[in-house]
Amino acid sequence: MKKWYRDYGLQARMVLTMLLLAGLYLIFLVVLSEYGGIGTYGLMVFAGFFLLIQFFFSDKFALWSMGGRIVSEQEEPRLHETVSRLCAIADLPKPKIAIVDSNIPNAFATGRSKDSAVVAVTTSLKQKLSQPELEAVLAHELSHVKNRDMLVITIASFLSTVAFFLVRNMLFFGMGGGNRDRDRGAGAAIIVFVISLAVWIISFLLIRALSRYREFAADRGSAVITGQPKHLASALMTISGVMERVPSRDLREVEGMNAFFIIPAISGDLIMNLFSTHPTVGARIRALEDMERKMEF
């Protein structure tokens, strides 16, 4: 196994983001404890159950939503051989491999652990990329598995989901019960609503930032596994160029999977980087070029 490349600046940003999330959620729990009622705790239990279902069945849901299917070694011998070789280098158990019949060149990894992971590629990706580029993309997805990104993002998003449910519950069902309860609890309800809304918005932005850092980490993992950062940079440019020619209707159909993709499928002409799950392609390529220069010495 090759020595895993450590980018301490990137790791520091990820740790800082997690600490900010932890601090935000601690404040949120204090407010709920002080002003929330029994219904609030029930809502938290419901949100926890919802996220557990998402966590344990995310791989099946992701494949189902994309129309992907698990393929055997007999069906895709070259793909299986490539993944097996990369897993040996990365010291990973071999994941299941899936193919998605799509004209959008992309790949994604899902699964709650290294032993239950699935790596999927689209038919368009196989057609558009050279073998070295395809290997670099597969190594990127395997890096997500090695870094346990599904676990990290699920944990980070737990109380954000609770806050979202609280906001929606209060908007649609009101903030109080009878007249007496309403008069007595209006102030507490407003506090919970405002704090929940703030937690939801701030955590949404922090989780997006965390997701972008994880993409940089997976890019670096790909460079370590393959030893060739330029191949992933080339693959990103190829995928990005093809994506621009894909009809907007096709992109909109898979936008819900953007957090999983190596490059998000975006139907609009402009997206604010602040809300994106991924860094810009240009930023990722510059980081890979920097790694290429460091590896030369």
DSSP lists the bridge partners of residue 68 as 100
The per-residue pLDDT for range 62-113, each reduced to its tens digit, is 777 778 899 999 999 999 999 999 999 999 999 999 999 988 888 988 877 8
The per-residue pLDDT for range 163-203, each reduced to its tens digit, is 666 666 655 545 444 444 555 556 666 776 777 777 777 87
At 134, is the pLDDT very low, low, confident or very high (cuts 50, 70, 90)?
very high
Query: Which segments are annotated as binding site for Zn(2+)?
Result: 140, 144, 215
At 212, is the pLDDT very low, low, confident or very high (cuts 50, 70, 90)?
confident
Residue 135 falls in the annotated catalytic set: no
CA distance to 94, 259, 287, per residue, from 216 (Å): 23, 13, 8
At 42, is the pLDDT very low, low, confident or very high (cuts 50, 70, 90)?
low
Query: Which segments are annotated as binding site?
Result: 140, 144, 215
* Candidate list 141, 244, 255, 289, residue with the active-site label: 141
Nearest to 256 by CA among 91, 61, 44, 71: 61
Length of the chain in terms of residues written: 297
